[in-house]
Amino acid sequence: MSSPDADFMPLDGWDHIELFVGNAKQAAFFYEHAFGFNRVAYAGPETGSRDRASYVVEQGDIRLVLTSGLRSDSDVVQFVSRHGDAARDVALQVPDAAAAYEQAVARGAVGVRKPHWLEDEHGRVELATIRTYGDNVHTFVARGAYNGPFLPGYVAPSHNGHRDTGVGLLAIDHVVGNVELGRMNEWVEFYERVFGMTNIIHFGDDQIQTEYSALMSKVMASGNGKIKFPINEPAEGKRKSQIDEYLEFSEGPGVQHIALQTTDIVRTIETLKERGIGFLDTPSTYFDEVEGRVGEIEESYDDLARLGILADRDDDGYLLQIFTKTAQDRPTLFFEVIERHGATTFGEGNFKALFESIEREQALRGNL
Protein backbone atom coordinates (compact mmCIF):
# COMPACT_ATOMS: atom_id res chain seq x y z
CA MET A 1 0.00 0.00 0.00
CA SER A 2 3.00 2.33 -0.22
CA SER A 3 2.27 5.58 -1.99
CA PRO A 4 3.88 6.01 -5.41
CA ASP A 5 4.50 9.65 -4.44
CA ALA A 6 6.30 8.88 -1.18
CA ASP A 7 9.71 9.28 -2.79
CA PHE A 8 9.48 13.05 -2.42
CA MET A 9 9.87 12.64 1.36
CA PRO A 10 12.28 9.81 2.19
CA LEU A 11 12.30 9.13 5.96
CA ASP A 12 15.22 7.07 7.25
CA GLY A 13 13.70 6.54 10.70
CA TRP A 14 13.10 8.14 14.09
CA ASP A 15 15.86 10.50 15.24
CA HIS A 16 14.65 11.52 18.71
CA ILE A 17 11.63 12.68 20.67
CA GLU A 18 12.06 15.86 22.66
CA LEU A 19 9.89 16.29 25.74
CA PHE A 20 9.43 19.74 27.21
CA VAL A 21 9.21 19.29 30.99
CA GLY A 22 9.11 21.38 34.12
CA ASN A 23 12.35 20.01 35.54
CA ALA A 24 14.58 18.18 33.07
CA LYS A 25 17.24 17.42 35.68
CA GLN A 26 14.74 15.38 37.67
CA ALA A 27 12.94 13.96 34.62
CA ALA A 28 16.27 12.58 33.39
CA PHE A 29 16.55 10.60 36.63
CA PHE A 30 13.09 9.09 36.05
CA TYR A 31 13.98 7.92 32.54
CA GLU A 32 17.37 6.63 33.72
CA HIS A 33 16.55 4.96 37.02
CA ALA A 34 13.00 3.79 36.30
CA PHE A 35 12.99 3.25 32.52
CA GLY A 36 16.60 2.08 32.10
CA PHE A 37 17.91 4.81 29.81
CA ASN A 38 21.50 6.07 29.85
CA ARG A 39 22.47 9.72 29.73
CA VAL A 40 24.58 10.46 26.66
CA ALA A 41 24.54 14.21 26.12
CA TYR A 42 23.79 17.52 27.80
CA ALA A 43 23.37 21.15 26.80
CA GLY A 44 22.74 23.99 29.24
CA PRO A 45 24.15 27.22 30.56
CA GLU A 46 27.56 25.57 31.09
CA THR A 47 27.74 24.76 27.37
CA GLY A 48 26.42 28.08 26.09
CA SER A 49 22.69 27.30 26.00
CA ARG A 50 21.41 30.35 27.90
CA ASP A 51 17.66 29.77 28.11
CA ARG A 52 17.26 26.00 28.54
CA ALA A 53 18.83 22.77 29.75
CA SER A 54 18.53 19.51 27.80
CA TYR A 55 19.44 15.98 28.87
CA VAL A 56 19.68 13.32 26.15
CA VAL A 57 19.04 9.72 27.21
CA GLU A 58 19.26 6.58 25.09
CA GLN A 59 18.29 2.93 25.24
CA GLY A 60 18.74 0.71 22.19
CA ASP A 61 17.85 2.93 19.23
CA ILE A 62 15.50 5.08 21.35
CA ARG A 63 16.67 8.62 21.99
CA LEU A 64 14.74 11.02 24.24
CA VAL A 65 15.66 14.64 24.88
CA LEU A 66 14.36 16.17 28.13
CA THR A 67 14.34 19.95 28.03
CA SER A 68 13.28 22.58 30.52
CA GLY A 69 13.38 26.37 30.27
CA LEU A 70 15.24 28.53 32.74
CA ARG A 71 13.13 31.72 32.75
CA SER A 72 9.42 32.45 32.68
CA ASP A 73 9.63 34.08 29.24
CA SER A 74 11.16 30.92 27.72
CA ASP A 75 9.19 29.18 24.96
CA VAL A 76 9.79 25.93 26.83
CA VAL A 77 8.33 27.26 30.09
CA GLN A 78 5.31 28.67 28.27
CA PHE A 79 4.70 25.37 26.46
CA VAL A 80 4.92 23.45 29.75
CA SER A 81 2.69 25.99 31.50
CA ARG A 82 -0.01 25.27 28.96
CA HIS A 83 0.42 21.58 28.17
CA GLY A 84 2.31 20.17 31.13
CA ASP A 85 5.24 17.82 30.59
CA ALA A 86 4.66 16.66 27.02
CA ALA A 87 6.27 15.61 23.77
CA ARG A 88 7.13 18.69 21.75
CA ASP A 89 9.20 17.40 18.82
CA VAL A 90 9.00 14.05 17.06
CA ALA A 91 12.22 14.38 15.08
CA LEU A 92 12.77 12.29 11.96
CA GLN A 93 16.00 11.28 10.24
CA VAL A 94 16.15 12.29 6.60
CA PRO A 95 18.93 12.24 3.99
CA ASP A 96 18.50 15.97 3.24
CA ALA A 97 16.82 18.30 5.76
CA ALA A 98 16.60 21.25 3.36
CA ALA A 99 14.91 19.14 0.69
CA ALA A 100 12.49 17.67 3.26
CA TYR A 101 11.61 21.15 4.55
CA GLU A 102 11.12 22.58 1.07
CA GLN A 103 8.90 19.67 0.04
CA ALA A 104 6.87 19.94 3.25
CA VAL A 105 6.33 23.69 2.99
CA ALA A 106 5.52 23.44 -0.75
CA ARG A 107 2.82 20.93 0.24
CA GLY A 108 1.27 23.24 2.81
CA ALA A 109 3.18 22.58 6.04
CA VAL A 110 3.94 25.61 8.21
CA GLY A 111 7.67 26.20 8.69
CA VAL A 112 8.96 26.80 12.22
CA ARG A 113 12.70 26.92 11.57
CA LYS A 114 14.29 27.09 8.14
CA PRO A 115 17.05 24.65 7.16
CA HIS A 116 20.27 25.45 9.02
CA TRP A 117 23.58 23.74 9.69
CA LEU A 118 25.06 23.21 13.14
CA GLU A 119 28.75 22.43 13.38
CA ASP A 120 31.35 21.47 15.96
CA GLU A 121 34.56 19.43 16.09
CA HIS A 122 32.53 16.22 15.52
CA GLY A 123 31.08 17.32 12.18
CA ARG A 124 27.95 18.98 10.77
CA VAL A 125 24.22 18.30 11.05
CA GLU A 126 21.45 19.99 9.08
CA LEU A 127 18.12 20.64 10.81
CA ALA A 128 14.78 22.13 9.78
CA THR A 129 11.45 22.17 11.63
CA ILE A 130 7.77 22.23 10.65
CA ARG A 131 4.54 22.35 12.66
CA THR A 132 2.10 19.53 13.10
CA TYR A 133 -1.00 19.17 15.33
CA GLY A 134 -1.35 21.33 18.43
CA ASP A 135 1.91 23.01 19.48
CA ASN A 136 3.91 20.02 18.24
CA VAL A 137 6.62 20.02 15.62
CA HIS A 138 8.65 17.67 13.47
CA THR A 139 12.34 18.42 13.08
CA PHE A 140 14.08 16.93 10.06
CA VAL A 141 17.57 15.77 11.04
CA ALA A 142 20.26 15.02 8.44
CA ARG A 143 23.19 13.83 10.54
CA GLY A 144 25.39 12.48 7.76
CA ALA A 145 28.69 11.38 9.29
CA TYR A 146 28.29 13.42 12.49
CA ASN A 147 29.93 11.52 15.37
CA GLY A 148 29.32 13.69 18.44
CA PRO A 149 27.21 12.61 21.42
CA PHE A 150 23.96 14.11 20.00
CA LEU A 151 24.03 17.39 18.08
CA PRO A 152 26.55 20.22 17.86
CA GLY A 153 26.24 22.25 21.06
CA TYR A 154 25.75 19.16 23.24
CA VAL A 155 28.55 17.61 25.26
CA ALA A 156 28.98 14.15 26.72
CA PRO A 157 27.83 14.54 30.32
CA SER A 158 30.19 14.14 33.20
CA HIS A 159 29.54 10.68 34.62
CA ASN A 160 26.66 10.88 37.07
CA GLY A 161 27.35 7.57 38.78
CA HIS A 162 24.60 5.73 36.92
CA ARG A 163 25.41 3.26 34.18
CA ASP A 164 22.22 1.42 33.38
CA THR A 165 22.05 -2.07 31.92
CA GLY A 166 18.69 -1.16 30.40
CA VAL A 167 15.39 -3.01 30.61
CA GLY A 168 15.41 -4.36 27.04
CA LEU A 169 13.73 -1.45 25.26
CA LEU A 170 15.09 -1.37 21.71
CA ALA A 171 13.32 1.02 19.34
CA ILE A 172 10.38 3.33 18.87
CA ASP A 173 7.47 1.43 17.31
CA HIS A 174 4.87 4.18 16.85
CA VAL A 175 3.87 7.60 18.18
CA VAL A 176 0.18 8.34 18.64
CA GLY A 177 -1.45 11.76 18.41
CA ASN A 178 -4.76 12.85 19.91
CA VAL A 179 -6.57 15.58 17.96
CA GLU A 180 -9.89 17.37 18.46
CA LEU A 181 -13.31 15.98 17.61
CA GLY A 182 -13.86 16.12 13.86
CA ARG A 183 -10.24 16.89 12.97
CA MET A 184 -8.73 13.41 12.55
CA ASN A 185 -9.23 13.39 8.78
CA GLU A 186 -7.63 16.81 8.43
CA TRP A 187 -4.43 15.45 10.03
CA VAL A 188 -4.63 12.20 8.07
CA GLU A 189 -4.73 14.33 4.94
CA PHE A 190 -1.79 16.41 6.26
CA TYR A 191 0.41 13.30 6.64
CA GLU A 192 -0.67 12.06 3.20
CA ARG A 193 0.01 15.36 1.47
CA VAL A 194 3.12 16.56 3.34
CA PHE A 195 4.84 13.22 4.08
CA GLY A 196 3.42 10.95 1.35
CA MET A 197 2.20 8.58 4.08
CA THR A 198 -0.68 6.18 3.59
CA ASN A 199 -3.56 5.27 5.88
CA ILE A 200 -2.88 1.60 6.66
CA ILE A 201 -5.56 0.98 9.30
CA HIS A 202 -8.84 2.63 10.22
CA PHE A 203 -10.99 1.99 13.26
CA GLY A 204 -14.42 3.46 13.60
CA ASP A 205 -16.25 4.12 16.83
CA ASP A 206 -18.19 0.91 16.15
CA GLN A 207 -14.93 -0.99 16.75
CA ILE A 208 -13.49 1.08 19.58
CA GLN A 209 -16.28 1.53 22.02
CA THR A 210 -17.00 0.77 25.61
CA GLU A 211 -20.07 1.45 27.66
CA TYR A 212 -18.91 5.02 28.20
CA SER A 213 -16.57 6.25 25.54
CA ALA A 214 -15.62 5.80 21.95
CA LEU A 215 -12.85 6.96 19.70
CA MET A 216 -11.86 6.82 16.08
CA SER A 217 -8.33 6.14 14.91
CA LYS A 218 -6.42 6.03 11.64
CA VAL A 219 -2.83 4.82 11.34
CA MET A 220 -0.54 6.72 8.95
CA ALA A 221 2.68 5.01 7.82
CA SER A 222 5.68 6.00 5.73
CA GLY A 223 6.28 4.05 2.51
CA ASN A 224 9.12 2.04 4.08
CA GLY A 225 6.96 1.34 7.18
CA LYS A 226 9.59 2.75 9.55
CA ILE A 227 7.45 5.63 10.80
CA LYS A 228 3.92 4.98 12.06
CA PHE A 229 1.62 7.72 13.35
CA PRO A 230 -1.80 6.61 14.60
CA ILE A 231 -4.11 9.61 15.00
CA ASN A 232 -7.10 9.49 17.35
CA GLU A 233 -10.12 11.70 17.75
CA PRO A 234 -12.87 11.36 20.34
CA ALA A 235 -16.29 10.08 19.36
CA GLU A 236 -19.59 10.60 21.09
CA GLY A 237 -19.97 8.32 24.10
CA LYS A 238 -22.14 8.33 27.17
CA ARG A 239 -19.51 10.18 29.17
CA LYS A 240 -16.22 11.94 28.65
CA SER A 241 -13.89 9.76 26.57
CA GLN A 242 -10.22 9.22 27.42
CA ILE A 243 -9.41 11.39 24.39
CA ASP A 244 -11.61 14.19 25.73
CA GLU A 245 -9.85 13.96 29.08
CA TYR A 246 -6.48 14.16 27.34
CA LEU A 247 -7.52 17.18 25.25
CA GLU A 248 -8.84 18.96 28.34
CA PHE A 249 -5.69 18.46 30.43
CA SER A 250 -3.24 18.89 27.56
CA GLU A 251 -5.13 22.03 26.54
CA GLY A 252 -5.24 20.85 22.97
CA PRO A 253 -3.89 18.11 20.73
CA GLY A 254 -0.63 16.35 21.40
CA VAL A 255 1.19 13.05 21.65
CA GLN A 256 -0.91 10.53 23.58
CA HIS A 257 1.54 7.66 23.76
CA ILE A 258 4.95 6.52 22.60
CA ALA A 259 5.25 2.79 21.90
CA LEU A 260 8.64 1.16 22.56
CA GLN A 261 9.66 -2.26 21.25
CA THR A 262 11.24 -5.06 23.22
CA THR A 263 12.04 -8.65 22.29
CA ASP A 264 11.57 -9.95 25.85
CA ILE A 265 8.48 -8.25 27.19
CA VAL A 266 8.18 -10.54 30.23
CA ARG A 267 11.63 -9.54 31.48
CA THR A 268 11.15 -5.90 30.44
CA ILE A 269 7.88 -5.55 32.35
CA GLU A 270 9.14 -7.49 35.39
CA THR A 271 12.09 -5.11 35.57
CA LEU A 272 10.07 -1.94 35.00
CA LYS A 273 7.63 -3.00 37.74
CA GLU A 274 10.50 -3.68 40.14
CA ARG A 275 11.77 -0.19 39.37
CA GLY A 276 8.40 1.34 40.19
CA ILE A 277 6.78 2.00 36.81
CA GLY A 278 3.00 1.68 37.10
CA PHE A 279 0.97 -0.07 34.40
CA LEU A 280 -2.72 -0.16 33.65
CA ASP A 281 -4.43 -3.06 35.32
CA THR A 282 -6.04 -5.65 33.10
CA PRO A 283 -9.28 -7.24 34.28
CA SER A 284 -8.67 -10.84 35.31
CA THR A 285 -11.56 -11.82 33.04
CA TYR A 286 -9.38 -10.74 30.11
CA PHE A 287 -7.02 -13.63 30.77
CA ASP A 288 -9.91 -16.12 30.81
CA GLU A 289 -10.50 -15.54 27.12
CA VAL A 290 -7.18 -14.39 25.67
CA GLU A 291 -5.69 -17.82 24.98
CA GLY A 292 -8.79 -18.91 23.06
CA ARG A 293 -8.64 -15.73 20.98
CA VAL A 294 -4.88 -15.54 20.31
CA GLY A 295 -3.88 -19.23 20.33
CA GLU A 296 -0.38 -20.61 20.69
CA ILE A 297 2.43 -18.20 21.55
CA GLU A 298 6.05 -18.65 22.64
CA GLU A 299 5.46 -17.01 26.02
CA SER A 300 3.56 -18.48 28.93
CA TYR A 301 0.03 -17.16 29.43
CA ASP A 302 0.67 -17.45 33.16
CA ASP A 303 3.46 -14.89 32.83
CA LEU A 304 1.20 -12.59 30.83
CA ALA A 305 -1.57 -12.84 33.42
CA ARG A 306 0.88 -12.33 36.31
CA LEU A 307 2.21 -9.14 34.72
CA GLY A 308 -0.99 -7.91 33.02
CA ILE A 309 0.44 -8.14 29.49
CA LEU A 310 -2.12 -8.12 26.67
CA ALA A 311 -1.97 -10.29 23.53
CA ASP A 312 -3.52 -9.99 20.11
CA ARG A 313 -3.22 -11.72 16.73
CA ASP A 314 -3.61 -10.50 13.16
CA ASP A 315 -3.11 -12.11 9.74
CA ASP A 316 0.69 -11.82 10.02
CA GLY A 317 1.33 -13.03 13.55
CA TYR A 318 0.81 -11.98 17.15
CA LEU A 319 1.87 -9.14 19.42
CA LEU A 320 2.17 -8.57 23.16
CA GLN A 321 1.63 -5.12 24.66
CA ILE A 322 1.06 -3.23 27.89
CA PHE A 323 0.47 0.43 28.71
CA THR A 324 1.94 2.49 31.52
CA LYS A 325 -0.07 4.82 33.64
CA THR A 326 0.39 8.42 32.60
CA ALA A 327 3.98 9.56 33.01
CA GLN A 328 3.20 12.88 34.75
CA ASP A 329 0.45 14.27 36.98
CA ARG A 330 -1.65 15.50 34.10
CA PRO A 331 -3.56 12.55 32.58
CA THR A 332 -1.88 12.99 29.21
CA LEU A 333 1.26 11.23 27.87
CA PHE A 334 1.88 7.56 28.59
CA PHE A 335 4.06 4.79 27.17
CA GLU A 336 3.37 1.42 25.58
CA VAL A 337 5.75 -1.52 25.59
CA ILE A 338 5.20 -3.81 22.59
CA GLU A 339 6.73 -7.06 21.38
CA ARG A 340 5.88 -8.05 17.81
CA HIS A 341 5.94 -11.61 16.53
CA GLY A 342 5.05 -10.86 12.92
CA ALA A 343 1.91 -8.86 13.72
CA THR A 344 1.85 -5.49 11.98
CA THR A 345 -1.29 -4.04 13.59
CA PHE A 346 -1.76 -2.33 16.95
CA GLY A 347 -3.71 -4.65 19.23
CA GLU A 348 -7.25 -3.85 18.10
CA GLY A 349 -8.53 -6.95 19.88
CA ASN A 350 -7.34 -5.41 23.14
CA PHE A 351 -8.87 -1.99 22.73
CA LYS A 352 -12.06 -2.73 24.59
CA ALA A 353 -10.29 -4.35 27.57
CA LEU A 354 -7.74 -1.57 27.56
CA PHE A 355 -10.25 1.26 27.47
CA GLU A 356 -12.24 -0.21 30.29
CA SER A 357 -9.03 -0.18 32.28
CA ILE A 358 -8.29 3.44 31.35
CA GLU A 359 -11.83 4.37 32.37
CA ARG A 360 -11.30 2.91 35.83
CA GLU A 361 -8.33 5.27 36.17
CA GLN A 362 -10.43 8.17 34.85
CA ALA A 363 -13.15 7.39 37.38
CA LEU A 364 -10.56 7.49 40.19
CA ARG A 365 -9.58 10.97 39.00
CA GLY A 366 -13.23 12.03 38.90
CA ASN A 367 -13.10 12.62 35.16
CA LEU A 368 -15.55 10.00 33.92
Q: Which residues bind Fe ion (CB under 5 A)?
A: 259, 336
Minimum distance from residue 155 beta carbon to Fe ion (Å): 34
The Cα 46–Cα 34 span in angstroms is: 27
Nearer to Fe ion, 137 or 255 (CB): 255
The Cα 232–Cα 218 span in angstroms is: 7
Minimum distance from residue 337 beta carbon to Fe ion (Å): 10
Nearer to Fe ion, 194 or 259 (CB): 259
* Burial per residue of 76-100, b for 16 or more beta-carbon CB atoms within 10 angstroms, e otherwise: bbebbeebbbbbbbbbbbbebbbbb
Nearer to Fe ion, 125 or 258 (CB): 258
Minimum distance from residue 257 beta carbon to Fe ion (Å): 6
Minimum distance from residue 298 beta carbon to Fe ion (Å): 21
Minimum distance from residue 143 beta carbon to Fe ion (Å): 27
The Cα 133–Cα 72 span in angstroms is: 24
Q: DSSP letter for 61, please.
A: T
Nearer to Fe ion, 141 or 172 (CB): 172
Q: Give me the half-sphere count of Cα atoms (radius 13 Å) on the Cβ side of residue 93.
A: 15
Nearer to Fe ion, 127 or 310 (CB): 310
Nearer to Fe ion, 53 or 176 (CB): 176
Minimum distance from residue 276 beta carbon to Fe ion (Å): 22
For residues 259 and 335, the answer to whether their CB atoms sit within 8 Å is yes
Name the CA radius of gyration of the chain, rounded.
20
Please give the helix or strand (H or E) that residue 243 lies within, else none: helix 242-249
Nearest CA-CA partner of 257 in 87, 111, 91, 136: 87
